[in-house]
Amino acid sequence: APTISSTSNSLPSTGVIVQGDQVTFKSKYTDPGSLDFHANTYNWGDGSTNDITNQNPLYGATGATTGQHTYNNYGTFTATLTVSDDDLGSTDANQIVKVARKVSLDWKPGSNPSAISFESGKIPAEKKIDFRGWRRKSEKDFRSRMDEV
């Protein structure tokens, strides 16, 4: 059966991306069956997959695979790479992907909106949000500040 020997990805150090962002996963694998053909399947955890089939035999070398995906929905997903061979052996590698909801604000200086609208609701204007001086230390810090609103 194949063995995944290394994985890397394009996720930021926080592990969080925003809706519409693309991620890239790269993996290397080996297989003691040097004449085996391989199929690499990426299941992105959001209902979509990529199949990279008919990988040539490794002849004792290391195989490599790369998958890219754009997450259009927010949430927490488990991306899984499955490397299988023609002897019905397979192995998996998983990566948690956190996708934050994309928020846009259409505001013009001097305007006096009655509320700031988000997909999930509104923040009344009397609940002033002062973003000056904010330094986003972590996702937890940001969420706790937003919970104060």
pLDDT tens-digit map of 79-97: 999 999 999 999 999 999 9
- Least confident interval from 5-14, 19-28, 111-120: 111-120
Looking at the chain, the whole-number percentage of residues with pLDDT higher than 70 is 68
Query: How far apart, in Å, do the first and last CA atoms of the chain sit?
Result: 53
Give the angle 31-37-80 at the CA atoms, nearest 5°: 70
Whether pLDDT at 148 is above 80: no
For residues 124 and 126, give the distance between their C-alpha atoms in angstroms, rounded to a whole number: 5
* pLDDT at residue number 110: 64
**Summary count for the chain: helices (H), strands (E):** 1, 10
Using CA atoms, how far residue 38 sits from 86, 137, 138, in Å, is: 6, 43, 40
Across all residues in the chain, what is the average pLDDT?
Answer: 80
For residues 36 and 42, give the distance between their C-alpha atoms in angstroms, rounded to a whole number: 19
